Amino acid sequence: MIKIRLLFSMFCVCLFASTSAEADALEQFNKNRIKQMSKHSDRYNYYEKKNGVVKRGSKNTGLDARKVKGFGKVHNWVEINNSKLGGVTRSIGKRFKAANPMARNKGGPDRNLGVISGCKKVRSVSNTVKIKNSKIENGLIGADVNSGVSMKGCSRGVSLTGKSIKNSVTISKSRVGGAAGLLKK
C-alpha cells in the first residue's frame, strides 16, 4: 500500500513539473518571437528594463495600434524589473497639462505600457506586461497608467465579436501610477 502511494505521489509531482515546464517554454518562445519581430515590424513591440537599464532591441513602453497601417494582429511584451519609469518633474508637468482646459489630447493615458487600439483597426491583440519591484510614475503626484488593452473610438453599434484579445498583466511588489491620475478624468 505504501509503494502504491509513493508511486502515485511521484507520478503527480512529475505531472505538475512537466506542465509548468511546458508553460514556461511556450511563454519564453512567445517572448523571444516578439523580441525578434519587433526589430522588423511595427505590429510587434518589445520593451525590457532591468535594474534601471533598457535592454537592447527594445522599442516603446507600450504599443499604440491606432498608428499601425492595415489590419491584423498586434503583439506587445513589456517587462520592468527593479526599475523606475517617470519622475516627479514629469508627473507635475502632466498634472498641469491635464488641468489645462485648453489642452488637446486629454483622452489618452499619461503612460502607456499596454496596447491602445481602435475597434476597427485590429483583429487580434496579445498583451503581456510584467512589473516586479518597480515604480511607474510618481506615487503622490500620480499619473494615469494603462497596462492592459484599451479600445478607443468604439461606438455603441460596434461589437468585439470576431476579435481575439489576450491580456496578461502581472504586478508584484510595485507601485503603478497614483491617486492624482484619477483627477484627470
Contacts of 179 (CB under 8 A, 6+ apart): 140, 142
- Determine the pLDDT at residue 159: 64
pTM: 0.76
Per-residue pLDDT of the chain (185 residues), as tens digits, is: 566 655 556 655 554 554 444 457 888 899 999 999 998 888 999 999 999 899 877 888 999 888 887 778 899 999 999 998 877 666 666 666 666 666 655 567 778 899 998 777 778 899 999 999 998 876 666 677 889 998 877 776 566 677 788 999 999 998 887 665 555 54
Taking a C-beta distance cutoff of 8 angstroms, is the pair 124, 164 a contact?
Answer: yes
